[in-house]
């Protein structure tokens, strides 16, 4: 692989896009029983358009993040694609705009509710990357992006109001809370992090997962026989995460913290798959979502996720 191609893949942070696609799997399967149907209209084309919309918007956010941070990265991370000179700022800006356009057009092809959610995501992405990232609102905006991405997956419905119902909205809010914590955890990843800040971020992460578990426990939309197994899986995910978080808090240097962030991001796929298992009930679709970890982990060996 040529250094230039690798630089663009690093700019896109390609492994992380599979966490965004897992959200689309989740949102879509909360509002549709399956991806392929022999009875009535086939939902697969709509699902694929939503995947394209999410991927375009998510990847544009990765590109714009480095575009707006290029001066800071020149000092803290000079090996990144833009400050290293492998990707020019103009080329990065054009790529970001092109990806955002792909995302918006794909959403528009699904329908007005999807387009409106995509427009909201565009505003959040530009706002976050353009200046809010380092403000107190930064983590909340990033969490809102994750909420919007799950709702984008659930947006193939007749009206916008239908998106903001149970179970999609409470689940999206739980995952959004989780991402608020992840964002807080990653705020000082390039330097030695403060233990108190990491502990506070870990608390928010735990609140997000516990909120999802409480909703699984109480919701009438859960497949009854899947309730207890889903709660058990969520408990195992949280235990695994807390072990990794504890190591990072005790050793808050960049490599350890960045490894914890990688695990936190990849765990989103497992959270989404568990929720699909609980609320949709199709084990094969849940396992198909878990399969997104294969390309994500494979690519993460060559391309950093942070």
Tally of residues, the chain: 306
In sequence order, what are the residues at sequence separation of 6 or more whose Cβ sits closer than 8 angstroms to the Cβ of residue 306? 13, 186, 189, 258, 261, 262
Which has the minimum average pLDDT: 70-79, 234-243, 248-257? Answer: 70-79
Residues 255-289 have pLDDT tens digits of: 999 999 999 999 999 999 999 999 999 999 999 99
Q: Quick check: 38 pLDDT over 80?
A: no
**H or E segment at 137?**
none
Model pLDDT for residues 67-98, shown as the tens digit of each residue = 999 998 888 889 999 999 999 999 999 999 99
Number of domains in the chain: 1
pLDDT value for 198:
96
- Look at residue 192 and tell me whether its pLDDT is greater than 90: no
Q: How confident is the model at residue 189 (pLDDT cuts 50, 70, 90)?
A: confident
More confident position, 40 or 209: 209
- The domain spanning residue 269 has which CATH number? 1.10.357.140
Q: Does residue 289 belong to any structural domain of this protein?
A: yes
Q: What is the pLDDT of residues 214-235, one digit of tens each?
A: 999 999 999 999 999 999 999 9
**pLDDT of res. 30:** 96
Give the C-alpha separation, 178 to 120, whole Å.
20
pLDDT band at 49 (very low <50, low <70, confident <90, very high): very high
Residue 257 within a domain? yes
CB 22 within 8 A of CB 273: yes
Q: Tell me the two tokens of residue 127.
A: 């706002």
pLDDT digits (tens, 9 = 90+) for 202-214: 999 999 999 999 9
Asked if pLDDT for residue 39 goes beyond 90, the answer is no
The whole-chain average pLDDT of the chain stands at 95
Domain-embedded: residue 306: no
Question: CB–CB of 119/104 below 8 Å?
Answer: yes
Percent over 90 (pLDDT), the chain: 87
Q: What is the pLDDT of residue 16?
A: 95
Instruction: Reply yes or no on whether the pLDDT at 306 is more than 90.
Output: no
Q: Break the chain down into helix, strand, coil percent, rounded to 5.
A: 75, 0, 25
Distance CA 121, CA 144 (A): 8
Q: Does 124 map to a domain?
A: yes
Average confidence (pLDDT) over 26-45: 89
Whole-angstrom distance, CA of residue 91 vs CA of residue 243? 41
Q: Is residue 19 part of a domain?
A: yes
225 preceded by a cis bond (ω within 30 of 0): no
What six digits make up the tokens of 277? 């298992």
Residue 305 placed within a domain: no
Query: What is the token pair recorded at 128?
Result: 């976050």
Higher pLDDT, 236 or 75: 236
Domain that holds residue 170: 3-300
The pLDDT of 186-207, averaged and rounded, is 93
Rounded to whole angstroms, the Cα distance separating 245 from 259 reads: 10
Non-local (6+) Cβ contacts of 257 within 8 A are 185, 186, 188, 189, 193, 198, 248
Q: Within a domain: residue 17?
A: yes
Q: Are 92 and 84 in contact, with CB atoms under 8 Å apart? A: no
Residue 293 scores a pLDDT above 90: yes
């Amino acid at each position: 692989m040529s250094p230039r191609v690798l630089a663009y893949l690093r700019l896109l942070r390609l492994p992380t896009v599979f966490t965004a696609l897992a959200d689309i799997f989740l949102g879509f399967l909360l509002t549709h029983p399956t991806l392929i149907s022999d009875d009535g209209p086939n939902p697969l084309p709509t699902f694929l358009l939503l995947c394209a919309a999410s991927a375009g918007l998510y990847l544009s956010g990765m590109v714009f993040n480095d575009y707006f941070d290029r001066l800071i990265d020149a000092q803290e991370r000079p090996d990144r694609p833009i400050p290293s000179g492998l990707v020019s700022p103009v080329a990065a800006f054009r790529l970001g705009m092109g990806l955002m356009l792909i995302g918006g057009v794909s959403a528009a092809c699904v329908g007005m509710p999807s387009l409106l959610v995509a427009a909201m995501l565009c505003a959040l992405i530009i706002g976050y990357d353009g200046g809010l990232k380092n403000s107190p609102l930064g983590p909340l905006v990033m969490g809102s992006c994750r909420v919007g991405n799950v709702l984008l997956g659930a947006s193939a419905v007749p009206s916008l109001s239908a998106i903001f119902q149970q179970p999609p909205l409470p689940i999206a809010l739980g995952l959004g809370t989780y991402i608020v914590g992840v964002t807080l955890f990653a705020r000082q990843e390039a330097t030695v992090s403060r233990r108190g800040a990491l502990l506070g971020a870990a608390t928010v992460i735990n609140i997000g997962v516990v909120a999802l578990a409480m909703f699984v426990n109480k919701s009438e939309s859960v497949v009854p026989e899947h309730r207890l197994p889903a709660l058990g899986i969520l408990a195992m995910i949280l235990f695994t995460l807390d072990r990794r978080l504890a190591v990072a808090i005790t050793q808050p240097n960049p490599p350890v913290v960045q490894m914890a962030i990688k695990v936190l991001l990849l765990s989103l796929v497992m959270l989404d798959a568990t929720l699909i298992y609980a609320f949709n009930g199709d084990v094969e679709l849940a396992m198909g979502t878990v399969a997104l970890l294969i390309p994500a982990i494979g690519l993460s060996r060559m391309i950093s996720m942070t």
